[in-house]
Amino acid sequence: MSRILIGLCLASLFWASCKTTRIAETTPFRSPEPDELWLALDTTRFDYRTFSAKADVEMEDESGKSSAIAFLRMQRDSVIWISLRKAG
């Protein structure tokens, strides 16, 4: 009796999971106006006075493979520093 009850419960779960439902109505694509694009670009513009970054670099040439750590520092409209350190 319990096996039949468990079987019916499992069958009802599988049957209920196969239903399709509509989630949202689709809207047609609207091409944005040029002014909207410029406004979106202007609000996401990367404005900085100084910038620093660190990167792991792997290089490969005829002599083999080598790794380094690169440090990049920039000061707007002035200086760019790049330094490399061999990775240990």
Asked whether the CA dihedral 61, 63, 69, 71 is positive or negative, the reply is negative
Distance, CA of 70 to CA of 57 (rounded, Å)? 7
Q: Which of 21-30, 38-47, 73-82 has the highest mean predicted lDDT (pLDDT)?
A: 73-82
How are beta strands 79-86 and 50-61 bridged, if at all? unpaired
pLDDT, average across residues 24-47: 79
pLDDT-derived band at 80 (thresholds 50, 70, 90) equals very high
Would you put residue 62 in left (φ > 0), alpha (ψ -120 to 50) or beta?
Answer: alpha
Task: Encode pLDDT of 3-14 as tens digits.
Answer: 887 877 777 766
Helices (H) and strands (E) in the chain, counts: 2, 3
CA dist 31 and 60 (Å) reads: 45
Over the stretch 48-71, which tens digit does the pLDDT of each residue have?
Answer: 789 999 999 998 888 889 899 999
Please determine, for residue 78, whether its predicted confidence score (pLDDT) is greater than 80.
yes
